[in-house]
Amino acid sequence: MRFSGQTVMITGGCKGIGYSTAIKFLKEGANVVILDLNTQETEAAVSRLREYGDKIEGTAADVTDRSSVAAAIQFTINRFGSIDVLINNAGITQDAQLLKMEEEQWNSVIDVNLKGVFNMTQAAALQMKEQNSGVILNASSVVGLHGNFGQTNYAASKSGVIGMTKTWAKELGRYNIRVNAVAPGFVLTDMVKKVPEKVLNSMKEKSLLKDIGLPEDIANAYAFLASEEAKFVTGTVLSVDGGLTL
C-alpha cells in the first residue's frame, strides 16, 4: 500500500473532493485526519469513512482561526505522531460581479481560501521541518489560472494559492518538503450545485473530454502528487479539468 504508516490531514474533509480524497488515502493504507467546521458532520463523516479503513480521525476546526488550526495540528501529532501530507482542500465561494460584490463576500472568501491555507501550512510545515519530510498540496482552480465571470474574490484566492505554492516550494525544499497545487475544472460537488445547469452544460461542451469532473478525479491527482512517484515534483500546478481551457 502506497501510504502505509503515513499521516494525511485533509481540510474540508466532510464532503465533496475532501471526502473522496479521504477515501482514496484510506484505501491506500494512510492514517487520515479530516478537519471540518461542524463537529457533528465531522463525526458522521468519520463513521462513514470507517468503511474504507480504521485509521481515520476527525476534528472540528475552522481554518481561518489560528488557535483552532493549532489544536487540529496538535490533535493529529498526538494521535499519529507525524504529518506527512497536508491537503489544503477547504474552500468556499461567494459569487457576485465586481460592481455588486459586498466587502463581506470578498473578506469571507479570502479568509477561508487564502488565509486558511496560510494558517494550516505554517503550522504543519513546522512539524514537517522537524521530520525533514512532508508534502503540501493546495486546492487551486481553473478559475485561479484563467479568472471567471462573477468570481473576483474566488479568482484572487485561487491565484493567490498558486503564488503561495511556488513560494513555499522555494522556501521549504531545503527541508525535503514538496509543495504543489491542483487546479480542478468543474467537479460535481455541492459547490458546483450552485452553478446554473446551463453554465454546467456549456462547461461540459467546452471541455475537450466533453465531461464534468468527479471528486475521485481530483483525489487521484492528490494521491499521485503525495506519492513517491512524484518525488521530483515541486512548485507545480496540475490542471485536472478535462482540457477545459486549452
Task: Give the x/- contact pattern for ligand NAD in 117-136, rule: CB under 6 A.
Answer: --------------------
From 15, 61, 8, select the one nearest 187 (Cα to Cα). 15
Q: Tell me which of 91, 134, 160, 242 binds ligand NAD, using CB under 6 A.
A: 91
- Whole-number Å distance between alpha carbons of 62 and 43: 15
In the numeric block, the cell 466532510 is attached to 14
- Whole-number Å distance between alpha carbons of 64 and 113: 9
Residue 92 interacts with ligand NAD (CB under 6 A)?
A: yes
Residue 77 interacts with ligand NAD (CB under 6 A)?
A: no
Residue 116 interacts with ligand NAD (CB under 6 A)?
A: yes
Q: What share of the chain is helix, strand, coil (3-state, %, to 5)?
A: 55, 15, 30
Strand order, beta sheet including 7-11: 56-60, 31-36, 7-11, 85-88, 134-139, 177-184, 237-240
52 labelled catalytic: no
Q: Tell me which of 2, 37, 82, 145 binds ligand NAD, using CB under 6 A.
A: 37
CB of 187 to ligand NAD, least distance (A): 4
The catalytic residue among 19, 52, 154, 222 is 154
CB 95 within 8 A of CB 151: yes
Residue 180 interacts with ligand NAD (CB under 6 A)?
A: no
CB of 228 to ligand NAD, least distance (A): 24
Under the rule (CB under 6 A), what is the footprint of ligand NAD? 11-12, 14-18, 36-37, 62-64, 89-92, 112, 116, 139, 141, 184, 186-187, 189-192
Catalytic residue IDs: 154
